[in-house]
Structures are given as C-alpha cells and as structure tokens.
Structure 1
Amino acid sequence: MELRHLRYFIAVAEEKSFNKAAARLYISQPPLSRQIKQLEEEIGVTLIDRENRPLKLTEAGEFFYDHAIQILKKSDDLRTMTIRKGNFDNSLSIGFVSSILYGILPRVISRFREVHPNIEVKLYELNSWQQTQALTEGKIDVSFGRLLFEDASIRRMVLREEDLVVAVPIEHPLSKEKRDSLSLIDLTNENLLLYPTAPRPSFIDYVLELFENRNLKANYFMEVRELHIALGLVAAGEGLTIVPKTLEHLRHQEITYIPFEEGILTSPIVMSVRHFDKSELLETLLDVTYQIYDEEGFIYKREKI
C-alpha cells in the first residue's frame, strides 16, 4: 500500500464518484477504479459500496478513511518540517503568545543574538493553538505558549509555572479594601473579562477550567478579543481579569493587581519544538532562557533538547 493509494481512496470517498474523483486527480476513471480495487484486495475488505449512487463507504471504509486522512497529514507535515530543517542553519523562527513578550522573552532573544550574531531571528505572535499548526507546517522552529496540546510530532517542555494575579479597577471595592490576596471564590460573582475569543481552545478555557477543578463557576463573564482589550476594560471599571504576574506593571495607575492566596494559581510557560529536533540553535535558546531564570531566581525544572 502506497501513499498514492490513500490519496486515490480519499478522493473517491469525498467525491462519492469515481468520475469526479478521477477529474480531481487528473487521471482517467478506469485506472482509478483498478487502483482502488487493488487496495481493497490488499487489505482484504470492501471499502466502497458500489451499489449505491452516490457511492457510499462501508463501515470498514469509514474507519480506513479517518486513518488515511491522518496518515497523509503526517506525511505532508513530515515533508514541510524536513524542508524547514534544511533551512535551519541561517535563521530561527520563534512563535510566542503576547503575554510572554512582557516577561523575559525579549532578554532571551537579545542574549541569543549575542551568542549567534549571524543568525536571523524571526518573531511571530501566535496563540498556543496556532503555534502547534505552525510547527507542524514548518513555518516556525520553536514556540513559547501557555497551553498544552497533544500532538505526536511536537514535544512540549514546561519551562516554569508563573503565578496568576487578578487585575482589579483602582476604584473597585476589592482594590479599596487593600486585600493582600484573593481566592477564586471571591471572583465567582464578579464580571470577568476573559481573553482571547479565538481561536479556541485558548486562555479563556484554561481560566474556566481553574474554576471547574475547584467545583466553582464563573457566573458572569464576557469574552474579549485580546489581552490588551481586557486590561483596557478593567481600567475603565467594566470588570476584572486574570493575567500572568509579569503583566502587573501595565496600566498600574488605573489597575490594582492582587495575587491569589499562596500563589497557588499558575500558568505554565511552555516551550514547544518538533520531536527529534536536536539543533544547536535550540540548545542555545534553552540555555540562555535558563541563565536568565537563574539570574531572576525563578524556580524551574531543567529540561534538555
């Protein structure tokens, strides 16, 4: 069984017609029919019910179609990732979520450039889901995000856990009370501004899961497009939001940032690379990240490329 057999079968399954599939594949219909018949003989089961018009997949055919799609995607991803690997010696493309840009990432990039001054560094703002797609498609080489997604071709490394804080309008009662800390139960009846709206899943889902894991519910929340809009609305007194601690210097004249009790609520900083990518450039990037962590006194678990 070859990849072309999978492509032929997928075309027939989606077009529900040998003639339409042949036109889509730019081949004639008789050879296509023979290829599908050979595929069925090799597997030993009937994949397509030819008695129906339009054609219909058998139960085994439905199963085979679902897996054929995945195999072809992995094959295409492998091709694009290999092409990207071949161009890896002259540049490094990095994806990041906006909240991490307010942390140490700029210092990491600056120090990386000191070590590799001849390497072109390209930066792309992408949410965690977009980063996964960009890695598998070979558009970036490494990413820094906050969500963990399962993908067989991607390796995730949790670099450290960053404390979350509550952004509260300066005139809000919780701010005027000068509270040292808050708990999630304090927020259940507050108007929460959660971000970003798309694509999902996103940090919104992570925050709502924090409530659910403690058998709590955020009774009033509004989804907004991005982090900066959420903070702008907080400054305007429209509600509260939850952000990583590294953002607590933003709009500090209009917003009070209150930590959670004992710092128990955190957001992971996740570095993602393609599996088996052992580039020296990635090793340097990880090393300088840990150097800065040590300088800042952060608690973390050291990983290796």
Structure 2
Amino acid sequence: MEIRHLRYFEALGNTLNFTRAAEQLHIAQPPLSRQIRQLEEELGATLIDRNARPLALTKAGTFFLEQCSQLLSRINEAQEATRRISQGQRRWLGIGFVPSALYGVLPEIIRQYRLANQEVEVVLSEMTSIQQAEALKAGRIDVGFGRLPLDDPQLHCEVIVEEPLVAALSARHPLLKFKRLRLSQLAAEPFILYPARPRPSYADHVLQQFRTHDLSLGSVIDVNEMQTAIGLVAAGVGVTLVPSSVQRLQRDDVVYRGLVEKDVSSPVIMNVRADNDSTDLLQLRKLIEGLRQKS
C-alpha cells in the first residue's frame, strides 16, 4: 500500500463518484478504478458498494476513510514541518488541543505567547487527548492541551485548571425552575454524551462523574462533537454536561445551570514529552504559570 492509494481512496470516499474523484486527482477514471480494486484486494475488504445508487461506502469503507484522512493529515503536517526546518525558517512550536479548551484559558495563552515570541511559528492542530499522546511521541506537536490524564512514562501531564461542569438544557426545559441541579436529576433525563469516538475520551470522564455518585445514565444519545450535543440540547432532545467555560458560547435557546455537587469538574491538562526541555516550551510553561498565579 502506498500513499497514493490513500489519496485516491480519500478522494473517492469524499465524492462517492469515480468521475469527480478522477478529475480531482487529475487521472483517468479506469486507472482510479483499478487502484481502488487493488487496495480492496490488499486489505481483503470491500470498501465501496458499487451496486448502490449513488455509490456508497461499506462499513469497512467508512472506517478506512476516517483512517486515511487522519494519516494523510499527519503526513501533510510532517512534510510542511520538514520543509520549514530545511529552509531555515522561523522556529516552530506545535500545539494540539481539544476544541473545548478554546472556550477557556487557551486562547489567552496562545495570544500572549505569540506576542512575546514573534520569531516562533505557532502551529495549531485540533485533536483528542489520545491523539495528542501519539502526536507528542511522534514529534508532530510539542505540547497538547486535553482533558484526559495520559498514563504514559514518555509523557508529562500537568493540570493547569480545573473547570466545574455545568448542565446544558433547552431554554424551555422543566428543570430550569431549579437554580442548581443534582446529578440524579440529569441522570433521569435523556443524556447526550460526546464524543462517541475515539475512546477513552471526555465521554468516559463524564460517565465516571455519575459512577462516583452511585448513579448511572438511563437513556444515552451518543454524538461525536460538542457543537452537535449543544444543538440537540437546544432542540429539546436531551441534556448534557459541559465545562463551565463553554457558557461563553451564548445561544438564546440553551441555558446553563450549575450543579449541587461541587466536586464535578473537568481538568484542562497540559501534556508534553517528558524529555522535552526546549527553550520555547520552557517559555510557554513560564507564561502559563504566570497566568495561573494571576487567576
């Protein structure tokens, strides 16, 4: 299997049309069809349902498309980083982050770091905590900001802030008559859990909060994105728990309520390679410590 096979399948998987995919790739359609057949033979799996109208991905194809996209993204990142280094361009600092971190302290960390270190190119990559672990060990990023502790001797993890969790409810939800809610009240509602994959993730952290209080969820709706969860909350489909900083995402159809239980929180964790003692990373850590002392 070669990189071109991944690129060919990604184009086909995204268009579900051999003609359009071939045009995007600047190749003829017959060679593309042959390459996809060869890929399926090598994998021992059917990726495309050719009898469907229009074309459709099989379950194996859907999985492989996601893997292709992730692999190609990492390859592109590595190529770009290598190019910058070889050309003697500015130093760079790779930062991975989970989306929910952008509602809290992370934007200010990035802003201040860039102002103080204009000779350093800051490269940002959205990724889950588990993906950050892989990217750190592979050298694709220098620091990650996630919400799960990573149990790996090659990594050093440090909690930089502990955020209370708050309930997100639709603007007409009956529970809004309470100023604060109990976890038991939320457990009795259809609960929107995210992300559905990959796991372990923030979803497992939320489930642990209920287990710690001897509670289990009844009806669970799994989604992949926090924005999707908030949208379903607005539609009255269910309730969810989000870090308190997400309240900055102001919507007139979603209302947030604090919890009676004071110990229900979610950390923002800075993850770095244990052997990374670079000056650029040291400056970032000093900046973060300064912000923590001021808060």
Q: TM-score band, normalised by the shorter chain?
A: 0.5 to 0.7
Q: Give the C-alpha shift of residue 149 in structure 1.
A: 1.9
CA contact (8 A) 2:144 2:271 kept: yes
Q: Distance in 2 between matches of 1:293 and 1:252?
A: 29
Q: Distance in 2 between matches of 1:138 and 1:294?
A: 30
The secondary structure found in structure 2 opposite 1:217 is coil
CA contact (8 A) 1:96 1:127 kept: yes
CA contact (8 A) 1:161 1:268 kept: yes
Query: Aligned residue pairs: how many?
Result: 211
Give the TM-score, by structure 1 length.
0.66
The secondary structure found in structure 2 opposite 1:136 is helix
The residue that corresponds to 2:144 in the other structure is: 143
Give the root-mean-square deviation of aligned CA atoms: 2.0
Q: Give the C-alpha shift of residue 126 in structure 1.
A: 0.3
What per-residue deviation string (whole Å, max 9, x for no partner) do you get for residues 145-166 of structure 1?
Answer: 0001211111111112111100
What per-residue deviation string (whole Å, max 9, x for no partner) do you get for residues 198-241 of structure 1?
Answer: 11111111111111122110111111011000001111111111
Q: Distance in 1 between matches of 2:198 and 2:171?
A: 31
Q: Give the C-alpha shift of residue 103 in structure 1.
A: 1.1
The secondary structure found in structure 1 opposite 2:110 is helix
The residue that corresponds to 2:196 in the other structure is: 197
What letter is aligned with 2:144?
Answer: S
What per-residue deviation string (whole Å, max 9, x for no partner) do you get for residues 89-108 of structure 1?
Answer: 81000000000011121111
What letter is aligned with 2:208?
Answer: E
How high is the sequence identity, in percent, across the aligned residues?
Answer: 38
The residue that corresponds to 1:118 in the other structure is: 119
Structure-to-structure mapping, 1:56-95, within 5 angstroms: 90-95=91-96
Residue 219 of structure 2 corresponds to residue 224 of structure 1: no
The residue that corresponds to 2:101 in the other structure is: 100
Give the TM-score, by structure 2 length.
0.68
The gaps in structure 2 that reach 5 residues or longer are 1-77
CA contact (8 A) 1:136 1:153 kept: yes
Residue 268 of structure 2 corresponds to residue 269 of structure 1: yes
The gaps in structure 1 that reach 5 residues or longer are 1-79, 298-305
The secondary structure found in structure 1 opposite 2:108 is helix
Structure-to-structure mapping, 1:148-163, within 5 angstroms: 148-163=149-164
Structure-to-structure mapping, 1:128-139, within 5 angstroms: 128-139=129-140
Q: Distance in 1 between matches of 2:228 and 2:219?
A: 17
Q: Give the C-alpha shift of residue 171 in structure 1.
A: 0.1
The residue that corresponds to 1:164 in the other structure is: 165
Residue 185 of structure 2 corresponds to residue 186 of structure 1: yes
Residue 128 of structure 2 corresponds to residue 127 of structure 1: yes
Q: Give the C-alpha shift of residue 290 in structure 1.
A: 2.9
The residue that corresponds to 1:63 in the other structure is: none
Q: Distance in 1 between matches of 2:279 and 2:261?
A: 39
Q: Give the C-alpha shift of residue 270 in structure 1.
A: 0.5
CA contact (8 A) 1:169 1:235 kept: yes
CA contact (8 A) 1:163 1:265 kept: yes
CA contact (8 A) 1:195 1:226 kept: yes
Name the larger-Rg structure: 1
The residue that corresponds to 1:210 in the other structure is: 209
Q: Distance in 2 between matches of 1:209 and 1:231?
A: 21
The secondary structure found in structure 1 opposite 2:179 is coil
Q: Distance in 2 between matches of 1:266 and 1:212?
A: 14
Q: Distance in 2 between matches of 1:214 and 1:241?
A: 17
Q: Distance in 2 between matches of 1:260 and 1:150?
A: 29
Q: Distance in 2 between matches of 1:282 and 1:89?
A: 15
What letter is aligned with 2:227?
Answer: H
Return 248-257 or 267-276, whichever deviates more. 248-257
Q: Distance in 1 between matches of 2:263 and 2:251?
A: 23
The secondary structure found in structure 2 opposite 1:157 is strand
CA contact (8 A) 1:164 1:263 kept: no
Q: Distance in 2 between matches of 1:276 and 1:89?
A: 22
What per-residue deviation string (whole Å, max 9, x for no partner) do you get for residues 229-277 of structure 1?
Answer: 0001111111111000000122431111101125321101100100121
CA contact (8 A) 2:160 2:292 kept: no
Q: Distance in 2 between matches of 1:256 and 1:222?
A: 19
